[in-house]
């Protein structure tokens, strides 16, 4: 009963005209960047980050969240029609989605992707609503050592799942930590690594770093060689899947939603891994696994339900613990902080309107996305036909405006360019940018909790292993770090990393 | 030998040493009360150790398949980067509208060549539209420049 009352409060917030507009803007932009290869949800969220400065905290978070889950819907369109994933979590949808399009079944593939996304997304919101309150109460038992260890675990999982060399992923995470510490020390107010530049006293901005690594670097990668893509020319009709399609997909959707939701909660996990694992699970459970890769509709339904469910799950650690589990949630944490709101166990008590408003807006956003991605699918197919030579100058322009308008300084533009080149080099030399960004955001929090823990314990590192939650987190992190030395675990990591990289 | 890994390890080595040194200069404090350089120092040392590991493996590894740098259109890449840097320099001087139009004309024309009419019309229209959306509608503080037309 209390839950329904709180949800009612949420809908009262989410249904305010201004918030509805921001929600629509978020899911619209999300679908757009999902459809367009070359800019992902991270880039789009940083781009619209400054737009939220003038909005209320509710509107800002509602819009940024909308971009995230909207991109999961849009990503499937390019996978199905072009065989190029609009964003990483839709890679696996290419396998069967594109084959369905080639067989003249693009309509049901797109329809099932949208409907599966809707079911997965909505189920995850219900899970978030049910799990967040008890987890928030549990999180009240967390002190500085627990927070420190949890952040170490989150970073370690992301490093573990990074494709390629783990040492390289650790290096980028370490660089992220250092960059996050630039600026005034939070305890002594001493400037660190500022090189006497006034612009660095407040630290390096999150937006220029993210836009550089994910926006400019991506454009540079596409510009360095000629990119060709052809939209599969087929008439899209009969978007609603047939009764047989439903029968074949119903359990794939249920399992995909569950896998996605729980993987989304895990720090370092997320939509990409969820989509791959749910696809692998369906293939393993199927009585006709040979159909997969040749246009099996379950191969579209499962990953699309999973990647949307993962977006809902990912909100749990951020909203209840204040710890972002992935890069996108790290950006959202930045948005919370800009608006003077601290996500964590007290968020639900101190800002019930914001907490429940965001949850309610996700129900509304999912409905909007259903409309945007079913009857209006034609618009996105047209968008896909915009050639990259027209698109990339505009992507760069949006990056420049977005970065400049955060602090109205050209310095940030230069920071973005530098990180764009660094990001391009990192891609070429097989260094993952995601651990850098998460460590960059977590760096100051990590240091703060480390120093507080040491002050609390009078300099005894034992505080991290004598407290059970902290000990478990560190034990898991330690196991993951030494895993490449253990053959069985090492092979598992390679398999997961290769899946994600492909 | 994987030259990319060895060279990048050298860069990491320099970064790690620099960060550790900066940490030392800032002061490590004591364990009961760690100083502002404590974390930087240790992270710097970790970077050094990892750089040695990556560099060592790069030295032992065979040359990677020649696809990493093959076919890279260096002039296009340098062109885009230089254009962005020039935009940063021009923005406060010429203002948003003019510098944006110039940047877009260059990007439309130089990277994947198009007709002048398309490049100029597209650039001007995009700059104007961005101005209307970001400055007029969203109230972003975009610079007007010395000419006062942005």
Closest-CA residue of chain B to A165: B54
SS3 content of chain B, % helix, strand, coil (to 5): 70, 5, 25
Rounded to whole angstroms, how far apart are CA atoms A352 and A13?
10
CA–CA min distance A56, chain B (Å): 14
What is the model's pLDDT at position A501?
44
Sign of CA dihedral A25, A28, A32, A34: positive
Q: Tell me if A473 sits within 8 A of A453, measured CB to CB.
A: no
What is the model's pLDDT at position A204?
93
Closest-CA residue of chain B to A459: B32
User: pTM surpassing 0.90?
Assistant: no
- CB contact under 8 Å between A188 and B35, yes or no, is yes
Tell me, yes or no, if B40 comes closer than 8 A to chain A by beta carbon. Answer: yes
Q: Contacts of residue A170 in chain B, CB cutoff 8 Å?
A: 46, 50
| CB-based contacts of A65, cutoff 8 Å, min separation 6 | A26, A315, A332, A358, A361, A362, A365
Q: Tell me if A196 sits within 8 A of B49, measured CB to CB.
A: no
What ipTM, to 2 d.p.? 0.93
Mutation pick from A155, A169, A172, A181 vs chain B, by most beta carbons of B within 10 Å, is A181
Tell me, yes or no, if A199 comes closer than 8 A to chain B by beta carbon. Answer: no
Q: Tell me if B57 sits within 8 A of A166, measured CB to CB.
A: no
Rounded to whole angstroms, how far apart are CA atoms A273 and A325?
13
Rounded to whole angstroms, how far apart are CA atoms A480 and A488?
12
Q: Contacts of residue B38 in chain A, CB cutoff 8 Å?
A: 451
**Dihedral of the alpha carbons of A142, B42, A454, A332, in degrees to the nearest 10:** -30
Of A405, A49, A412, A206, give the one whose Cα is nearest residue B131.
Answer: A405
Segment (H or E) for A253: helix A243-265
Mutation pick from B7, B13, B88 vs chain A, by most beta carbons of A within 10 Å, is B88
What is the model's pLDDT at position B66?
65
Of the CA atoms within 13 Å of residue A100, those in its CB half-sphere come to 33
What is the model's pLDDT at position A174?
95
Q: How many CB pairs under 8 A join A and B?
A: 160
Give the closest of A170, A219, A455 to B32, CB-based: A455
Q: Tell me if A249 sits within 8 A of A116, measured CB to CB.
A: yes
Quick check: helix, strand or coil at residue B34?
Answer: strand
**Could you tell me whether strands B29-30 and A191-192 are parallel, antiparallel, or unpaired per DSSP bridges?**
unpaired
Residue appearing with tokens 């097989």: A430
What is the model's pLDDT at position A321?
85
Per-residue pLDDT of chain A (502 residues; tens, 9 = 90+): 677 888 888 999 999 999 999 999 999 988 888 887 666 788 778 777 777 877 899 999 999 999 988 888 888 887 888 777 766 777 788 889 888 888 888 888 988 998 898 899 889 988 988 888 888 888 888 899 998 998 898 888 878 877 678 899 999 999 999 999 999 998 888 999 999 888 899 899 888 898 898 888 988 988 887 655 555 555 566 677 888 888 889 999 999 999 999 888 876 667 877 888 889 889 888 888 888 888 899 999 999 999 889 988 888 888 888 888 888 888 888 888 888 888 888 888 888 889 999 999 998 998 998 888 888 888 887 887 778 788 889 888 988 988 888 788 899 999 999 999 999 999 889 898 888 988 898 888 899 999 999 999 999 999 999 999 999 999 999 988 887 777 666 666 666 554 444 4
Tell me, yes or no, if A221 comes closer than 8 A to chain B by beta carbon. Answer: no
Q: Tell me if A114 sits within 8 A of A380, measured CB to CB.
A: no
- CB contact under 8 Å between A224 and B72, yes or no, is yes
What is the model's pLDDT at position A269?
60
Read off φ and ψ for residue A473, nearest 5 degrees: -60, -45
Give residue A118's Cα distance to chain centre. Answer: 17
For the record, the structure tokens of A6 come out as 């709180």
Q: Tell me if B146 sits within 8 A of B94, measured CB to CB.
A: yes
Segment (H or E) for A183: strand A183-184
Read off φ and ψ for residue A183, nearest 5 degrees: 115, -165
**Could you tell me whether strands A183-184 and A191-192 are parallel, antiparallel, or unpaired per DSSP bridges?**
antiparallel
Tell me, yes or no, if B100 comes closer than 8 A to chain A by beta carbon. Answer: yes
Adjacent-strand bridge partners of A184:
A191
Give the closest of B36, B73, B108 to A185, CB-based: B36
Residues of chain B below pLDDT 50:
none
Closest-CA residue of chain A to B143: A408
For the record, the structure tokens of A389 come out as 């030579």
Sign of CA dihedral B54, A436, A448, B36: positive
Rounded to whole angstroms, how far apart are CA atoms B44 and B42?
5
**Could you tell me whether strands B33-34 and B29-30 are parallel, antiparallel, or unpaired per DSSP bridges?**
antiparallel
Give the closest of B22, B36, B100 to A188, CB-based: B36
Give me the count of residues in chain B.
Answer: 150
């Amino acid at each position: 009963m209390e839950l329904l009352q709180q949800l009612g409060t949420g809908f009262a917030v989410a249904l305010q005209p201004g918030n509805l507009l921001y929600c629509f803007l978020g899911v619209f932009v999300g679908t757009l960047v999902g459809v367009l290869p070359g800019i992902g949800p991270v880039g789009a969220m940083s781009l619209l980050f400054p737009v939220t400065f003038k909005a209320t905290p509710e509107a800002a978070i509602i819009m940024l969240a909308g971009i995230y889950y909207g991109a999961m819907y849009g990503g499937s369109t390019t996978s199905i029609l072009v065989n190029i994933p609009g964003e990483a979590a839709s890679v696996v949808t290419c396998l069967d989605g594109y084959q369905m399009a080639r067989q003249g079944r693009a309509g049901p593939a797109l329809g099932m992707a949208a409907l599966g996304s809707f079911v997965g997304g909505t189920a995850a919101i219900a899970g978030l609503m049910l799990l967040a309150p008890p987890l928030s109460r549990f999180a009240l038992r967390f002190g500085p050592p627990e927070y420190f260890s949890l952040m170490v675990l989150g970073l370690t999982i992301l490093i573990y799942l990074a494709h390629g060399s783990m040492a390289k992923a650790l290096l980028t995470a370490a660089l992220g930590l250092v960059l996050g510490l630039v600026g005034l020390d939070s305890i002594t107010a001493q400037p660190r690594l500022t090189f006497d530049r006034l612009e660095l006293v407040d630290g390096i901005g999150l937006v220029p770093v993210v836009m550089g690594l994910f926006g400019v670097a991506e454009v540079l990668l596409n510009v360095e060689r000629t990119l060709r893509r052809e939209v599969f020319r087929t008439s899209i009709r009969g978007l609603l899947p047939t009764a047989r399609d439903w029968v074949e997909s119903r359990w794939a959707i249920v399992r995909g939603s569950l896998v996605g939701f729980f993987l989304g909660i895990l720090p370092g996990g997320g939509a990409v891994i969820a989509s791959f694992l749910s696809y692998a699970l369906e293939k393993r459970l199927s009585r006709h696994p040979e159909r997969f890769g040749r246009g099996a509709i379950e191969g579209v339904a499962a990953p699309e339900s999973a990647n949307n469910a993962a977006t809902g799950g990912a909100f749990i650690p951020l909203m209840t613990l204040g710890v972002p589990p992935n890069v996108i949630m790290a950006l959202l944490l930045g948005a919370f902080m800009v608006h003077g709101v601290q996500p964590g166990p007290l968020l639900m008590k101190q800002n019930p309107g914001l907490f429940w408003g965001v949850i309610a807006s996700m129900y509304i956003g999912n409905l909007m996305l259903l409309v945007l991605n079913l009857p209006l699918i034609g618009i996105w197919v047209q968008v896909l036909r915009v050639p990259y030579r027209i698109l990339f100058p505009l992507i760069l322009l949006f990056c420049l405006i977005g970065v400049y308008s955060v602090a109205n300084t050209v310095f940030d533009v230069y920071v973005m360019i530098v990180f764009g080149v660094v990001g391009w080099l990192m891609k070429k030399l097989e260094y993952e940018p995601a651990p850098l960004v998460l460590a960059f955001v977590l760096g100051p929090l990590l240091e703060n909790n480390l120093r507080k823990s040491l002050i609390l314990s009078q300099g005894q590192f034992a505080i991290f292993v004598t407290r059970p939650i902290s000990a478990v987190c560190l034990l898991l992190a330690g196991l993951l770090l030494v895993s490449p030395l253990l053959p069985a675990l090492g092979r598992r990591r390679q398999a997961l990393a290769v899946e994600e990289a492909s | 030998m994987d030259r990319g890994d060895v060279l990048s390890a050298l860069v990491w080595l320099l970064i790690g040493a620099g960060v550790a040194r900066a940490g030392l200069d800032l002061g490590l404090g004591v364990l009961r009360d760690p100083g502002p350089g404590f974390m930087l120092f240790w992270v710097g040392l970790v970077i050094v150790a990892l750089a040695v590991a990556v560099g060592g493996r790069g030295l032992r590894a065979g040359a990677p398949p020649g696809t990493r740098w093959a076919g890279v259109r260096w002039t296009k890449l340098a062109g885009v980067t230089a254009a962005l840097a020039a935009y940063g320099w021009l923005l406060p001087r010429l203002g948003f509208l003019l510098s944006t139009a110039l940047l877009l004309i260059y990007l439309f024309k130089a990277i994947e060549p198009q007709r002048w009419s398309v490049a100029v019309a597209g650039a001007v229209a995009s700059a104007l539209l961005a101005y209307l959306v970001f400055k007029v509608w969203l109230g972003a503080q975009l610079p007007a420049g010395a000419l006062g037309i942005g």
